[in-house]
Amino acid sequence: MKLTFNYGQDVVVLPLRPLLDRAKKATKNDLCLLFVLAGDARLRDNYAAEADRAAAAAGVTRAELDRALSFWQGAGVIDVEGEEQAEPAAQPAAHAPQPEKKLEHETALPHYTTEQLTTLLESRAEAKSLVDAAQQTFGKMFTTMEVNIVLGMMDYLSLEEEYILILLAWCAAKDKKSMRYAEKMAIGLCDEGIRDAAALNGYLLRREETEALRGQLRKLFGAEGRTLTAKEKAAFTRWIDEYHYGVEIVTRAYEMTVDAIGKASVPYADSILTRWHSEGIDTLEKIDADSAARAKSKSENGTASSFDTDEFFEDALRRSYS
């Protein structure tokens, strides 16, 4: 099978390597601006005067256009010459000052100089509003480094103000009032494709539910007040994230474990839950039906009732030592 591009009358040329490296982080607005600029030399040559036309062609607002341009500059895909004359004197500066360092290894946001921060906050009302709201959320005045991170989230990661404030509010509620922590979290979320407020709210809700469930499991297996072992952590993660079992089903496996061996055992319960998952048993009704079918089978075959316990125990040991 062969694929052929239908170029027609228009062709654009783009830098492959930096574009591939950063495309996974690009939003729809970022990509729309890129294609509009790549296909129109007049826009590129006189961007300051043509910016409104570029925004209309890309189907974005002027603020979204500025953030998209900041994103591609930070990615090293677009260079801007003569930014000091980018806007007529009577108009506010259109573009956010660009960081003096590009993002390296995708572990931190770019760095703005003090002069760039001052210009940005004076020329863009939405940037100043965001910083003010972020400071109120954390209940303190930000340092230059912290302001850098807030504005880097807006311009480099292209995150909306609502998204950033939701994230900071969550960090504050968890007593993690560190912009470095928020920065790492924001980068990680963007890597996972969580880039709008609705998706972030959904993620945080699931995270809260997961943390609550982990707490219930720790209590159930008597692991409160101590650090979980590596095997226990792996088992809990498997039950929650892979098997999608709630506390009711895990409790049933816990009860069967105690009935069988007289004590709580995460590896033993894991063997039960793993079998249920492999056989598609995911409700209490299915568990009851499975138990009844196994009991009937043993009765009909004349198998000793202890065989089931031995089978589970041996399976649990094999999985525990594997």
Q: From first to last of its 322 residues, what are the pLDDT tens digits of the chain?
A: 666 666 666 667 777 666 666 666 677 777 888 878 887 777 788 877 788 888 888 888 877 777 777 777 766 678 776 544 333 333 333 444 444 433 433 456 777 788 888 888 888 899 999 999 999 999 999 999 999 999 999 988 999 999 999 999 999 999 999 999 999 999 999 988 999 999 999 999 999 999 999 999 999 999 888 888 999 999 999 999 899 999 999 999 999 999 888 899 999 999 999 999 999 999 999 999 998 988 888 777 765 444 455 455 555 554 553 4
- Record the pTM: 0.54
Q: Are residues 65 and 135 in the same domain?
A: no
166 within a domain of the structure (yes/no)? yes
How many angstroms separate the CA atoms of 73 and 248, rounded? 51
Residue 240: count of CB within 10 angstroms of its CB: 19
Which residues have CB under 8 Å from 172's CB, separation 6+?
Answer: 137, 138, 139
Q: Is the CB of residue 290 less than 8 Å from the CB of residue 281?
A: yes
Q: Are residues 32 and 78 in the same domain?
A: yes
Q: Are residues 116 and 186 in the same domain?
A: yes
Q: Are residues 60 and 143 in the same domain?
A: no
Structural domain total, the chain: 3
74 within a domain of the structure (yes/no)? yes
Tokens 């088992």 appear where?
A: 235
220 within a domain of the structure (yes/no)? no
How many angstroms separate the CA atoms of 165 and 100, rounded? 25
Long-range contacts of 281-288 (CB under 8 A, 24+ apart): 282/243, 282/244, 282/245, 282/249, 283/249, 284/248, 284/249, 284/252, 287/249, 287/252
Q: Are residues 64 and 120 in the same domain?
A: no
211 within a domain of the structure (yes/no)? no
The residue from 157, 174, 195 where one domain ends is 195
Token output for 257: 């474990």
89 within a domain of the structure (yes/no)? no
Q: Which domain holds residue 304?
A: 225-321
